[in-house]
Structure 1
Amino acid sequence: MKARITTALLAGVSFIVPATAHAQSSDPRPAMAPSPDATVAPATATESTDAQSATPVAQDNAADTGDIVVTAQRREQSILTVPIAISAIAGNTLTTKGITNSANLAAAVPNLQVSSPYGNTQPNFSLRGISVANEYNANQASPIGVYIDDVYLASRTSHGMGLFDLDRVEVLRGPQGTLFGRNTTGGAINFITKGPTLNGNEGYAEGGFGNFNTYTAQAAIETTMVEDQLGLRISGNYVKGDGQIENVFPGGRDANSQNTLQGRAILRLRPGNGPLDIKLKVYGGRDKGSQAAVHGLLPFRQGLGFFEVNENRIGLNRTEAYGASATIAYEISPTLTFTSITSRDGGKQNLQQAADGSPLDILDINWRSNFQQFSEEARFNYNGDRLKLVGGGFYGYDRTTTDNTFNIGQAIAPTVNGGFFQHYRQVRRSYAVFAQGDYDITERLTLTLGARYTWDRNRYRDGFAFLFAGDVGGPQLPLATTVPCPGVPGTCAYDPGARFALNGRNNALTGRAALSYTFEGGTLVYASYNRGYRSGAFNGGGYTSSAGINYIDPERVNAYEVGVKGRYFDMLTLSAAGFYYDYKNQQVQDTRAGPVSFLVNAPKAEVYGAEAEARLRLSPAITITAAGGYLHSTYKDLTLQGTNLDGNDLPFAPRFTAQGGADLTLFKDGTNGLTVSPSVAFFTRQYFSPFNDTNAVGTGQLNSELKQGAFAKVNLTAALTVDRFTFKAFANNLLNRKTYVYGLDLRGAGFPYNFLVPAAPRTYGGSVRVAF
């Protein structure tokens, strides 16, 4: 195993280290003054970013060199000086690459996958092979922490956001258990919005139209009421389009339609341009597009194209998200700053999912949950000559109240429709203290040490479920209580007062240790150890029997990484990393006879690989970006449904990923010009289930269906700027590749088909934007 670790860690850096002597930076460690409103985001990437990716001071430099500013360690730093893995994608680059929502991020980040059984709703992020695997219930926390302006979003439904008026997105690869905390075993994604600069007035308005009768509109306006002291920025986003997957059922609704409305307002106060800096933010949004298409019962797939379904009950995905936050920073002295981030957020989902892909009522589900959360983080930042230190405390509360209905056709009797109703309330509280310091041992050698201690306290309350007779959407006649009931469904008499409750608790110590060295030319090399932790969890899928409602152990990752990054010849930025993970207790679903769904731990998995990113500015008119990743992720100890799955790949973990693109300026005259930006993203085969191609004996499984073969997708955008106007055209999935993004085993649960979700077909259109 030592040889394997060594190979994995060296693979990411071996081809770059010989070039360190050619680095052209004159300053080995560029100094960045800490910002009172800095956010967090670790870094090792070179750059997927443009001039608007960071602070105004750094924008011009970033445009020329790719040396952008991130807030990886709770302070502003050049991305080339932070010894952690990150991809930073600026707001304009999101548009260039055709990334309009969080589900599209895989097109720009190596070793990142995004999938969901619900379309853009409740996306499942997978970083370096770590994901929710085959778990799909709304109460589960993502192992990839998702943040907006440093505020942790506990609900996975709120992760499926449209991206608008963003400064940048920072994708942090690897465990982030020190500065971010629990539920970041795979990494973290930080969406950083644009806020008032307290300098002048500006804004924009943009309208567009595309195929599938898709209308889009975005706008933002920023006004400075008192220069350097008081400013306001208001922005909004609207998308409405017809279904992208045609439904041939007479009068049926098409799948994958869009109907999104979002808004945000940020007020910033800096009284007397002094040491106190306050940001107050409110936001809200709703989405009510139609459900993702499902390829299901095979007889009703006959004669259909890939982007067609025959479904009698295409439902709507109704979601809402809203919240308010206050970020208050006070500069106590030139070297010491205090920051408080307080947030209150909420939302709900009402997902109507026809899950059989047929005109029959075989499986129709209504997923309903309400979410509430509150969080507070308080920290001190010390910025001395040789020591940079951040430390503080965190408190988080979130509540999920769930009411799900599972209609299973005539499974009760040949002439009787029915199903299951499920209700529960989950409450999670988390407390943590943390500290991390960077100490300059010498001018070029830095030691980083950090630790975080977390207390998690979780409760499952008011749990009940029952078997009922009734049609889809109609009245329900309870037949038998299934929760609480430890036996086979239908064996416990209906008891309307019966309730199930359970408690769970974990404590965890996580941390980071790293050594980084900056060569005279500016190249940074580092080696690090990180420990990550994902809290224990209740089984939200337990509704046929209370035997399956349990609280399982937390996930833990011990991660070892080496990396290198630098800028060369004043035109090329490069970064690479190699990593090895000892991954324990991944939380996966196990469906057993009954049928009863259990949430269980996969005792041990091994993950290793490498990734690299590059940006080459050949001339002011030609910039090329490229990224690639290699990933080996396998279970070392896993048994599901009595079947040994040792050696199988983790789900949503292709061996190779690659992204490439170019910005080609065909002409430029001052601020006017025409730029064409082609890009491509490539992925090798990936499985959707821990079973891979293996079938459990006696289950009727056909798991070979639950995978996607290798594919590449091409996007193309063009932007013509004339004075204050920008005219854009785009085509996503230009070659109209037919791919699946998600699959779930239903044959093993007794249904005569598997559940597969197709990705979107080719989309294209244009827009006009005016700046003012």
Structure 2
Amino acid sequence: MNVHVPRTGKRLSSPIQLAILALMAGSAHAAADVPAAEQAVADKNSTAITEVYVTATKRSTSLQKTPVAVTAINAAALDDNHVQTLQDVVNLVPGFAATGQGDHGVITMTLRGIGNDSAKTEYADPEVATFVDGVYSPRPEGATALLFDLEAIEVLRGPQGTLWGRNSTVGAVNMQTVKPEIGSKAGSFEAGYGNYGRLGARGAVNIPISDTLAMRVAVVHEQHNGYVSYQRAPDVPLAAQHAAADPVIAAWNKAHPGNPIGFQPINPNMFVSNGQKYSAQDQSAARLSVLWQPSADLKWNIAYEHYMDRGTPSMNLMQTPRAGQDFWSALIDTAPSVDRDSHSVRSRIDYNINKDISLAYIAGYSRFNGSSTFDQDGGANLPTSFTTGGNFQANNTVWSKYKNYSHEVEIQSTGKRDVDWLLGLYYANEDNGIRFDIPIMNGTEQGTVGWQGSFIQPKETVDSKAVFGQATWNASDALHITGGLRYTSDERKNIGGTNNGWSDLTAPQVPVNPSMNPLAPGSGFSTYQHNDATFNDHKLTGLVRVGYDIDKNNMIYASVSTGYKSGGLQDGGKPYGSETLTNYEIGSKSTFLGGAVRMNNSAYYEKFKGFQFSAPVTNPDGTRGLATSNAEGAKVWGLETEIAAKITPDDRIQLTAAYTNATLKHLIGGSNDYALPACPVAGISTCLDVTGNTMPHSPKFAAQVMYQHRIALADGTLTPRISAHYETASWLSVFNLGEPDKQKSYTRTDLGLRYDAHSSWYFDAYVRNVEDAKIKTSAMNANGPWQAQYLPPRTFGINVGKTF
């Protein structure tokens, strides 16, 4: 964890930052947890890998006895790999990818080659469902945006609807936070510093209150300066500006004599030259958790979490920089900003009805408000005058808000039985709203209007109801047969949504901004699309699985499961259909050499139907919107392996690898992010037939290897580690538009050196992306030159912490 040292001139003004200091100030009064420390020493001296338990089947079971393709990452592994966001998790999980989306500043996930880059707003749900303590998180927020005080992360591959409250198409990510412990006085804090002005702090403390009550407080703050420098404003001679602008001015004034325009020199102050840069981090979160356990049969865990983001979005960079310009720089005419807050409450009550049956009630509530500004054009083209050459385009979230809550009741068998079973009821509601403005001006912000729109969705709701169940017949000590069913019913409504375009040529030629009301008379805007509509969908999905324990160290399994994601509503109130997936899978889990080596393998074939392809488009009449269409589907198959070996008590190596083949079936796709040919299909301006193309973010082969060695010293231990990720080339869009639309094969290496003192303090140094590789996560050429989003450049730093 990292102690926050304020930037020059910046006060510790937020409650979260103050909580960090308060936590650290009080940490010295806590006592050490001696039994846990003794166990840790015993584990280090053993030649066997520590047993890992997971909750993938809604029961605590050994990872090696769980017949599910699941990757479990414990707290130690999260620390060793400096995991802060989901993008840091992907290298640890076979077949997993996460991409950054600049204009909304969120992360979208792909698993086994299937995902949707547009699952970042109220329009689309993700194919990979995210849960925190079993509570579904529909949008990236809180613990899902800034990972802290986690006990473990479990990534489950394949449909998970027969056990989990919210349905998922291709998999689920479950994050388990650290829970309070009755009677324990334990905690930790960490402080860190790094390049790009990185400063951070995190810590947690467990507070015993009584024999039945305990509380835990966890806080985190992470900040670093932006990676993207500001380029100087273009220096165009005044005579050249006149030569470019005068013919345009003359043509406009002839066509619009009642609304003439005059020449303006390019104003250099329109270009951003200082202030917070793009790709900066400034995030804080705090979590208060309480455990009440009045008896052995009843316990209640409840937590409140507040997350705040004051960083900046990631920038679209030129793939080939202009002469004389740094790669990590851009000509910026829209200053970056992110202002987001979320509040979440998660509750779980467990009650043992008797020795054979238990009941759980899981509830969640979250509320989000935010805004952001983003330079969509990224300075791809230089202006030749105030209204020619380049273009000004901003993607501005004027306001965004949502509330969601969920209720889940589970009743299941307990103990060792011939038949293990679970039944569940689930209900969730989302209420979303957003205003999203896109001003596009010719040349510069001073120029004439190219196109601009304001998309206002005041209320868009989702109601999801489900009943699900699963039973496992333990036919013998070795043979286990599982079946499960789920019925889901979804209703979506868009109430009062409008898409508004600038259409009054007599109105002032100025970019739309938050002070304007596009719905007001005389604003220059008119409503060209109403989005009011209701959509209903439902589906029955299921699971059949057979697991067989060959012996105590080896097991195999085979399964067929189906997944479903509801259809919904797009601009204009038009519906789109649901996605369905049938997953055929076989796998094995083995332990060798007395627990020193573990190997888990899986092979799968997926029939994916109705893939929901979403993209911003221009309609034939010149209006714009977000369109979603259903592809015929995709064929996906692959192999995955995870190997962990403790070569000696001091040497450990871990390998994950995945081979993926993901091919689209029939789809005619359009997108404003790419220069595409005129479309022969009615209703789409530009498009491309992408039938047979490879799905984006699905490299044929990807592997991660980690090695660490422990060196015993007089006063502690020193552990150097190296982690290397390799993957073959992968496409960045369904269009497969050549090398600029592809991330070429690459290797990325991370280094670490940790010193653990016997007095429970530690020092950890790290270097991430040693090669300083430029790794693309998305691409576009709508402005002509190819641009892309990238993972961070080389970063390095140190952390110092103490457990108590």
Bin the TM-score by the shorter chain. Answer: 0.7 to 0.9
Whether 2:719 is the aligned partner of 1:663: answer no
Q: Which letter maps to 2:454? A: F
Could you report, residue by residue, the CA deviation over 1:433-468 in whole angstroms, capped at 9, with x for unpaired residues? 111011111220000001111110110111112223
Paired amino acid for 2:544: A
Q: What's the offset of the Cα at 1:636?
A: 2.1
Q: 1:537 aligns with which of 568, 577, 580?
A: 568
How far is the alpha carbon of 1:478 from its aligned partner? 5.0
Matches within 5 A, 1:67-86: 67-86=51-70
Find the counterpart in structure 2 of residue 455 from structure 1: 489
* Structure 1 residue 270 corresponds to structure 2 residue 299: no
Instruction: Using the TM superposition, give the Cα deviation of residue 684 of structure 1 relative to its aligned residue in structure 2, in angstroms.
Output: 1.4
Identity %: 23
Alignment partner for residue 370 of structure 1, among 401, 411, 426? Answer: 401
Cα shift at 1:755: 4.4
Aligned-partner SS, 1:270: strand
Q: Does 1:603 align with 2:632?
A: yes
Shift of 1:317: 2.3
The corresponding residue for 1:572 is: 597
TM-superposed CA distance for 1:341, in Å, is: 0.7
Find the aligned partners of 1:171 and 1:280 in 2 and give their Cα distance: 23
Aligned partner of 2:719 in structure 1 is 675
Match of 1:340 in 2: 361
Letter in 2 for 1:386: D
Distance 2:480 2:64 in 1: 14
Task: Show the counterpart of 2:245.
Answer: none
Task: Indicate which of 581, 595, 604 corresponds to 2:606.
Answer: 581
1:379 matched to 2:410 = yes
Counterparts of 1:380 and 1:85, CA distance in 2: 24
Which of 435, 443, 448 is the equivalent residue of 1:415? 448
For 2:143 and 2:355, locate their aligned partners in 1 and report how far apart those are by CA, in whole Å: 37
Are 1:494 and 2:526 an aligned pair? yes
Task: Give distance in 2, aligned partners of 1:452 and 1:516.
Answer: 21
Alpha carbons of structure 1 residues 157 and 277: separation in structure 2 relative to 1, 3 Å: closer
- After superposition, the C-alpha distances for 1:182-237 in whole angstroms (9 at most, x for unaligned) are 5511100011100112232101111111111111100101022224x211110000
- For 1:194 and 1:479, the matched residues in 2 are separated by 48
> Aligned to 1:617, which of 628, 642, 646?
646
Confirm or deny: 8 A CA contact 1:348 1:369 kept in the other structure.
yes
How far the C-alpha of 1:567 sits from its partner, in A, is 0.8
| Residues 344 and 475 of structure 1: CA distance in aligned 2, closer, same or farther (over 3 Å) | closer
Q: Counterpart in 1 of 2:13? A: none
Residue type of the partner of 1:719? R
State the alpha-carbon separation in 2 of the partners of residues 137 and 59 from structure 1. 47
Cα distance between partner residues in 2 of 1:58 and 1:730: 23
2-side partners of 1:495 and 1:254: how far apart?
35
* Secondary structure, aligned partner of 1:266: strand
Name the amino acid aligned to 2:430.
Answer: D
- Post-superposition CA distance 1:385-443 (Å, at most 9, x none): 21111111000001110100001113999634661111112100001111101111122
For residues 520 and 443 of structure 1, what CA distance do their matches in structure 2 show? 10
Corresponding position of 1:470: 510
Contact 2:292–2:299 at 8 Å: present in 1 too?
yes
Q: Is the 8 A contact 2:85 2:146 kept in 1?
A: yes
Select the residue among 312, 319, 324 that pairs with 1:290.
Answer: 312
* Distance of 2:182 and 2:513 partners within structure 1: 52
Distance between the aligned counterparts of 1:88 and 1:662, measured in 2? 18
SS, match of residue 737 in structure 1: coil
Letter in 2 for 1:188: A
- Counterpart CA distance in 2 for 1:507 and 1:277 is 35
The offset of 1:754, in angstroms, is 4.5
Structure 1 counterpart of 2:542, from 482, 494, 511: 511
- Equivalent AA in structure 2 for residue 284 of structure 1: H
Per the alignment, residue 323 of structure 1 pairs with: 344
Q: Does 1:107 align with 2:152?
A: no
Question: Which one-letter code corresponds to 2:719 in the other structure?
Answer: T
Contact 2:718 2:753 (C-alpha < 8 Å) held by counterparts:
yes
Contact 2:545/2:559, CA 8 A, preserved across alignment: yes
Shift of 1:632: 0.2
The answer to whether structure 1 residue 649 and structure 2 residue 632 are counterparts is no
| Change in CA separation of 1:609 and 1:662 when aligned onto 2, cut-off 3 Å | same
Tell me the residue number matched to 2:789: 757
The equivalent of 1:230 in structure 2 is 213
User: Is 1:438 matched up with 2:472?
Assistant: yes
**Does the Cα contact within 8 Å between 1:266 and 1:280 map onto a contact in 2?**
yes
1:569-594 Cα shifts (integer Å, max 9, x gaps): 12100000000000001110353543
Distance in 1 (CA, whole Å) between partners of 2:603 and 2:57 is: 21
Q: Which amino acid aligns with 1:419?
A: Q
Tell me the CA shift for residue 332 of structure 1.
1.0
Q: Is the 8 A contact 2:333 2:392 kept in 1?
A: no
Secondary structure of 2:747 counterpart: strand
Give the alignment partner of residue 226 of structure 2, picking from 243, 246, 251: 243
CA distance in 1 between partners of 2:42 and 2:566 (Å): 42
Structure 2 counterpart of 1:161: 145
Mapped to 1, the partners of 2:276 and 2:714 lie a distance apart of 48
8 Å contact 1:459–1:503 — kept in the other structure? yes
Cα 1:756–1:270 change in 2 (3 A) is same
Residue type of the partner of 1:389? W
Does the CA-based 8 Å contact 1:58-1:69 persist in structure 2? no
Matched, 1:687 2:670: no
Greater relative contact order structure (CA < 8 Å, 6+ sep): 1
AA matched with 1:265: L
Q: Which amino acid aligns with 2:475?
A: I
What is the distance in 2 between the residues matched to 1:339 and 1:59? 36
**2:435 alignment partner in structure 1:** 403
Aligned counterpart for 1:716 among listed residues 751, 755, 763: 751
Return the alpha-carbon distance in structure 2 between the equivalents of residues 669 and 226 of structure 1.
Answer: 40
Q: Shift of the alpha carbon at 1:499?
A: 4.6
The number of aligned residues is: 686
CA distance in 2, matches of 1:727, 1:663: 16
Deviates more, 1:424-433 or 1:555-564: 424-433
- Aligned pair partner of 2:123 in 135, 139, 142: 139
2:225·2:276 contact (CA, 8 Å) conserved in 1? no
What do the CA deviations read for 1:304-339 (whole angstroms, capped 9, x no partner)? 232222223241122222111221010111221100
Q: Which runs of 5+ in 2 are unaligned?
A: 1-35, 233-272, 383-389, 503-508, 671-678, 680-687
For structure 1, the residue ranges without an aligned partner over 5 or more in a row are: 1-53, 482-489, 694-702
**Aligned positions of 1:117-132 closer than 5 A:** 117-118=101-102, 121-132=105-116
Q: State the Cα distance separating 1:472 from its structure 2 match.
A: 5.8
User: Contact 1:196–1:267 at 8 Å: present in 2 too?
Assistant: yes
Deviations 1:23-53 (A, max 9, x none): xxxxxxxxxxxxxxxxxxxxxxxxxxxxxxx
Do the aligned partners of 1:103 and 1:160 also contact (CA within 8 Å) in 2? Answer: no
- CA 1:586–1:59: 2 relative to 1, 3 Å: farther
Pair 593,501 (structure 1): closer, same or farther in 2 beyond 3 Å: closer
Q: CA deviation at 1:138?
A: 4.4
Corresponding position of 1:65:
49
More off after superposition, 705-714 vs 578-587: 705-714
Q: TM-score, normalised by structure 2?
A: 0.81
SS at match of 2:64: helix
Deviation at 1:294, TM superposition (A): 1.2
Report the 3-state secondary structure (helix = DSSP H, G, I; strand = E; otherwise coil) of the residue aligned with 2:551: coil
Tell whether the 8 Å contact from 2:119 to 2:126 is kept in structure 1 after alignment. no
Question: Does the aligned pair in 2 maintain the 1:290–1:314 contact within 8 Å?
Answer: no
Deviation string, structure 1 residues 230-268 (Cα, Å, up to 9, x no partner): 111100000122112222343364221110110001100
1:160 to 1:81, Cα distance in 2 relative to 1, 3 A: closer
Task: Give the conservation status (yes or no) of the 8 Å contact 2:142–2:307.
Answer: no
Partner secondary structure for residue 79 of structure 2: helix
